[in-house]
Amino acid sequence: MHTEQLVSTFVEYFHERGHRRIVGSTLLPPPGDPVLFTTSGMHPLTPYLEGSPHPLGRRLVNVQRCLRTTDLEEVGDATHLTVFEMLGTWSLGDYEGPLSLDWGYGLLTECLGVDPGLLHATVFAGDSQCEPDHASLELWQDRGVPVELTVEDNWWSNGPVGPCGPDSEIFLWSGDCPPESTPTQDDRWVEVWNHVMMRHRRLGDGSLVPLPQRNVDTGLGLERLASLLQGKPSVFEGDVFDPWRRLVPPLWRLDEPSLRLVCDHLRSAVVMLGDGVRPANTGRGYVLRRLLRRVLTVLWREDPSYSVGDLPDELVQHTLDHFRQHMSPAEVRSLLHDEERRFGRLMERGRQVLARPRFRGRLTEEDLHYLHDTHGLPRDLITNLRHG
C-alpha cells in the first residue's frame, strides 16, 4: 500500500466515524509554546485538549508533520526519522479510550490487512498518582491481543508540565519468524500507534489535576506503518524514500548508514526551509545548521568535492510537493549551498587554528572556550577536525 493510499484510508475510516479533517500545521509550533518544533500531532491542538471548543467539533483527524531531535542519534536505524508525519485522531471530551483502541484495531486488521497475530499492546500499569488503565487492558483482552504492562513507557507527556495521561501503544511484529517476547524486551516489536488518554494536567509541583474534559489523543507513525505494510525492512526502503534511493547513490558514493543519514537530514532540511526556518546560530536555525553540518561532514569524509548544491531539483521538488510547500527548488539549493560555503570556510579556519602548536595536545575547557569565542569554532566541529 502506497503512503498516500494509507493516508486516505486512515482519514476516510475516521471520517466515517464522525471525525472532521483539520489541516495540519507547519513544523513551527504556535506562539507561546516552549518547544522549538512541533513534535506530535497534538501539539497545535493543546488549547482544545485543555477545554476550548474546537470550531470543527469534538472528533478530529489529521496528518501532521513533526520534527524530533531527541531521536537524532537513532536516525539510520529501521524506524527513526528526524522529520516524519503523524496520522492523528482526537476525541475532545467525546468518546473514551477503549472505543479509540477498538477502532484502531479494526482499521489495522480489517482495512489494512494486518494479521491480528502480529499485534502486541502495552498498557499503563499504574503508579502512586494514577491507577492502572483497566479499561484499555480489558479491551485488548477481549480482542485477544497480548498486553505488556509498564509504568514510565505508558505515560505520555509533552514536557514536565501540561496535559498528559496514560497511554496504550500498539506494536507490530517486524521479525522474519513468528512473534516472540514483548515490546520492551525485543525491538522487532515496532511501535506504530499510540493512544493517549489525555485527561490530566501536570502542575509545576509535580501533582496531577484533571483536565476540564477527558480526551483521547492518538498518533500513528506514517512512514513506519507504510514501510511495514510494504514489507520493507526499514523506513528508508518505504516508497517515500524511493526517489532518494534512486537519485542519491549515483551522485555520492556512500555506505548504507551514511546514505540513510544524508537522505534523512537533507529531506528534513528541505522541509524546514520550506516552513521558513533559516540556518542560524541559535534556536530552530541552529537545529537546521547542525543537520546540514552532519550531512557535510559525512559527505566530505567520503570525498571533499561532494556538494549539497548538486542535490537534484527533482528530489527537492518531490519533498516540497509532498509537504505542500511553495518554494522554488532553486532557492532551496542556493540556501543549502550558502550554508555549505560557510561551513567550508569555518572548517578551513579551524584547521589552520588547530595546527598551531598550542592546540596540538589535549584541549582544556579553557582552550575550547577560546576557540569558540575568538574563532567561532563550535566544540563538535573541533572534535570532528581532530578525530574525523
Residue number, 87 or 125, with CB nearest to ligand SER: 87
Residue number, 26 or 307, with CB nearest to ligand SER: 26
Residue number, 211 or 248, with CB nearest to ligand SER: 211
Among positions 336-375, residues that touch ligand SER (CB under 6 A) are none
183 contacts ligand SER (rule: CB under 6 A) = no
- Please, are residues 67 and 268 in contact by the beta-carbon 8 Å criterion? yes
In angstroms, the Cα distances linking 262 to 248, 278, 284 are: 9, 19, 19
Interface region with ligand SER, contact rule CB under 6 A, candidates 34-42, 98-106, 110-118, 308-316: 34-42
The site map against ligand SER for 115-144 (x = CB under 6 A) is ------------------------------
The nearest distance, CB 88 to ligand SER, in angstroms, is: 5
DSSP E strands, the chain = 20-21, 59-67, 83-91, 119-124, 147-150, 155-157, 162-173, 189-196, 200-202, 208-210, 216-221
Interface region with ligand SER, contact rule CB under 6 A, candidates 211-219, 301-309, 323-331, 369-377: 211-219
41 contacts ligand SER (rule: CB under 6 A) = yes
Residue number, 69 or 258, with CB nearest to ligand SER: 69
Residue number, 65 or 333, with CB nearest to ligand SER: 65
One-letter amino acid at 251 equals L
The nearest distance, CB 40 to ligand SER, in angstroms, is: 3
DSSP string, 31-57: TT-SSSS--STTGGGHHHHTTPPPTT-
Query: Which residue is it, cell 506504530?
Result: 192
The nearest distance, CB 66 to ligand SER, in angstroms, is: 8
DSSP string, 122-143: EEE---SSS---HHHHHHHHHH
The nearest distance, CB 138 to ligand SER, in angstroms, is: 21
- Given candidates 26, 194, 268, 319, which one binds ligand SER under the rule CB under 6 A? 194
Residue number, 84 or 343, with CB nearest to ligand SER: 84
- Given candidates 40, 82, 227, 319, which one binds ligand SER under the rule CB under 6 A? 40
> Is residue 178 classed exposed, middle or buried when 0-12, 13-18 and 19+ CB atoms within 10 A define those classes?
exposed
Among positions 153-172, residues that touch ligand SER (CB under 6 A) are 156
Residue number, 156 or 189, with CB nearest to ligand SER: 156
Cell representation of residue 121:
499492546
One-letter amino acid at 121 equals A
Cell representation of residue 50:
485543555
Helices 329-354, 256-274: crossing angle, 10 deg rounding: 120
100 contacts ligand SER (rule: CB under 6 A) = no
* Distance separating alpha carbons of residues 335 and 329, to the nearest angstrom: 10
Interface region with ligand SER, contact rule CB under 6 A, candidates 17-25, 35-43, 147-155, 202-210: 35-43
Interface region with ligand SER, contact rule CB under 6 A, candidates 10-18, 36-44, 172-180, 369-377: 36-44
Residue number, 219 or 279, with CB nearest to ligand SER: 219
- Please, are residues 377 and 353 in contact by the beta-carbon 8 Å criterion? yes
Pairing of strands 147-150, 119-124: parallel
Among positions 216-245, residues that touch ligand SER (CB under 6 A) are 217-219
The nearest distance, CB 77 to ligand SER, in angstroms, is: 18
**Which residue sits closest to ligand SER, CB atoms considered?**
219
> Is residue 385 classed exposed, middle or buried when 0-12, 13-18 and 19+ CB atoms within 10 A define those classes?
middle
The nearest distance, CB 219 to ligand SER, in angstroms, is: 2
Angle at CA of residue 25, ends 19 and 30, nearest 5°: 115
Give the binding site for ligand SER (CB under 6 A): 40-42, 88, 156, 194, 196, 217-219
